[in-house]
Structure 1
Amino acid sequence: MFRTYLFLLIILVPAAEIGILLWSGKTIGVLPTVFMILFTGVMGTYLAKSQGLKVIRQAQQQMAYGQMPGEAILDGICVLAGGILLLTPGFVTDLAGLLLLIPATRKFFKYWLAAIIRRWMNKGTIRIIR
């Protein structure tokens, strides 16, 4: 099941990116489209760096109090994925990356990611050893 979704993502996302980039280039012009892609890459780098540093401080604070930094790890996974998506050229990946980097929208993805990890643990696919 997971492989099917992954296969569809590998095929559909680049196809959508190419279509949207072609439409954007035709509608607003090639140079504005290129500048928008470069701008989102630069802003994505800045946002990923600032959110990443915030997550590291959160993890350090939780560990200083003797807590497992589970929430910070999920935040870190989302920030890393969001940063990678923002650096990938295209508008679809930029939107997905932005949603992963904004703390308010990241909550949905963290809940979804935690549910997947919990399901893997219940199945015995993944094990957490303390």
Structure 2
Amino acid sequence: MIWLAIALGGGLGAMARYGANLWLYPLFEQRFPLPTLCINVLGSALMGVAYVWLIERGTDHPVLRHLLMTGFLGAFTTFSAFSLDAFALMRNGASLTAIAYVLLSVTSCIIAVSLAIKITSEYL
């Protein structure tokens, strides 16, 4: 049942992201990825709400948690999971580790996408 919930949530989250992009991109110039930033911030905020509602308040229902957090928000923006991981590190007193995680994640991902584009452009 959890796998089905993740699949359903993921499908809905991916469609929501696509719809948000269709709606937001015409509103902004393309010089700065503001629509992506908005989606990432919204997804992170929703992840925070879901975390409190489903986990901290003790109302956790595994199927609903996976539908919303893993599926929907995971597809809407993986940045929400990244943000929750960083928050958990800070909350557990590992602030330096959280800062290193954030810097390493962002830098590594930018390097990875840059290298992948370069390599793929040259060889495919």
**Fold match, TM over 0.5?**
no
Larger RCO: Structure 1 or Structure 2 (Cα < 8 Å, ≥ 6 residues apart)? 2
The normalised TM-score by structure 1 is: 0.34
The normalised TM-score by structure 2 is: 0.36
Larger radius of gyration: 1
